């Protein structure tokens, strides 16, 4: 399959790169982003969905993972959001706690989209334009929207010592009208990403928070080197 992709791309005009550039430019005008993702490998099943709203500087992401183990599946879920400059993580008991998620801030993510640089919420189109061997595919409908598929052999390589090694095979379906990504298939991870843009999304700071300790409720830790005794009444 790789030989066919590369051979076709070598004789293709730059229409694929131009279409990806149109998509990259179109995303710079978008305020809200949404995706759902499902991936299946021999060792793990993953489901994820996320939202990013640039005007509110907020995001919300949920991830469900099932790892396949000999003694049975190991399941864990994570849910994080950031709104009004504060980050939170959902606890197993259904309450939220202030937490640092480790993700880039919404402001930085939106800045990267506007610059056309890599960020977590959208496909890395700049990398595909610079390093991809692109083949034009057929049209299909995703969630009622017509898009054209573009098959990409990513030649970015794992590092500077192997710059022309194919690291992934991606199929992007770009909307025929607004050029925005509607679907991304990644062969190596057997994953499917579905995208939506500029839909009304509002992410609020959660109100059901885990009770936090205050100085009045924190008991001092006795110094083991001291013995407390009643004051001398004499």
d(C-alpha 196, C-alpha 180), whole Å: 9
Q: Are 189 and 39 spatial neighbours (Cβ–Cβ below 8 Å)?
A: yes
Q: How far apart, in whole angstroms, are the C-alpha atoms of residue 188 and residue 178?
A: 28
For 199-220, how does the pLDDT look when each residue is reduced to its tens digit (9 = 90+)?
Answer: 999 999 999 999 876 555 555 5
Predicted confidence at residue 228, as pLDDT, reads: 40
Residue 100: what pLDDT? Answer: 79
State the pLDDT confidence band at 2, using cuts at 50, 70 and 90: very low
Max Cα separation, the chain? 102
CA angle 18, 171, 150 (to 5 degrees): 30
pLDDT at 159: 65
In whole angstroms, what is the distance from residue 69 CA to residue 114 CA? 42
Give me the pLDDT at residue 6, please: 47
Whether residue 83 has pLDDT greater than 60:
yes
C-alpha–C-alpha distance, residues 48 and 189, integer Å: 14
- pLDDT tens-digit readout, 107-165: 999 999 999 999 999 999 999 999 999 999 999 999 999 999 999 999 886 666 666 77
Domains and CATH numbers, the chain: 2-197 (2.50.20.20)
């Amino acid at each position: 399959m790789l030989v066919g992709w590369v051979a076709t791309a070598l004789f293709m005009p730059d229409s694929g790169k131009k279409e990806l550039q149109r998509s990259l430019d179109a995303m710079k005008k978008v305020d809200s982003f949404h995706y759902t993702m499902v991936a299946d490998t021999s060792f793990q099943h993953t489901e994820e969905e996320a939202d990013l709203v640039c005007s509110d500087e907020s995001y919300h992401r949920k991830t469900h993972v099932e790892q396949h183990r000999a003694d049975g599946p190991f399941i864990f879920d994570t849910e994080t959001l950031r709104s009004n400059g504060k980050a939170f993580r959902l606890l197993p008991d259904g309450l939220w706690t202030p937490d640092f998620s480790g993700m880039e801030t919404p402001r930085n993510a939106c800045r990267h989209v506007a610059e056309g640089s890599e960020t977590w919420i959208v496909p890395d189109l700049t990398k595909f334009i610079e390093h991809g061997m692109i083949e034009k595919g057929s049209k299909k409908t995703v969630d009622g929207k017509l898009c054209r598929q573009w098959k990409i052999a990513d030649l970015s390589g794992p590092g500077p010592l192997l710059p022309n090694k194919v690291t992934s095979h991606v199929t992007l379906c770009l909307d025929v009208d607004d050029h925005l990504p509607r679907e991304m298939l990644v062969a190596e991870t057997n994953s499917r990403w579905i995208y939506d843009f500029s839909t009304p999304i509002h992410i609020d700071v959660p109100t059901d928070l885990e009770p936090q300790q205050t100085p009045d409720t924190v008991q001092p830790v006795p110094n083991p080197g001291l013995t407390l005794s009643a004051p001398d009444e004499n």
